[in-house]
Amino acid sequence: MKATIWHNPRCSKSRETLAILQGTPGVEVEIIDYLKHPPSRARLADLYARAGISPRDGLRWGEDPAKALPRDAGDAMILDAMVANPILIERPLVETGKGVRLSRPPEKVREIL
């Protein structure tokens, strides 16, 4: 099984999720450092839709660029902000043939393995 993780190596939750993936027999892991190689707006929207969450659920509200967003910002505005400032993307997002999960907590990734 192939698993793609949208990863930030400085994030402990992302590292824990990666360790789960790498420790699961039969899982081939593709690691994408999303800060260096961010997903497109369309790809990000697709990942959230497949995970069953809204862009608002995947936004890191504590980051400085997010503080400039109105609290009632819609999905389009949030996605635009995430594409402009990938640090706003909550991590890690993991995609397999069984679905997509925002792996917070890291054990949530097991749902799609």
CATH numbers and ranges of domains, the chain: 2-112 (3.40.30.10)
> What are 68's two structure tokens?
């400039």
Alpha helices (H) along the chain: 12-22, 41-51, 64-67, 75-84
Q: How confident is the model at residue 35 (pLDDT cuts 50, 70, 90)?
A: very high
Of 2, 6, 7, 11, the catalytic one is 11
Q: What is the pTM assigned to this prediction?
A: 0.92
In tens, the pLDDT along 50-100 reads 999 999 999 999 999 999 999 899 999 999 999 999 999 999 999 999 999
Taking a C-beta distance cutoff of 8 angstroms, is the pair 58, 48 a contact? yes
List the helix and strand counts (H, then E) for the chain. 4, 4
H/E stretch holding 108 reads none
Q: Residues with Cβ < 8 Å from 36, sequence gap 6 or more?
A: none
Catalytic residue status for 61: no
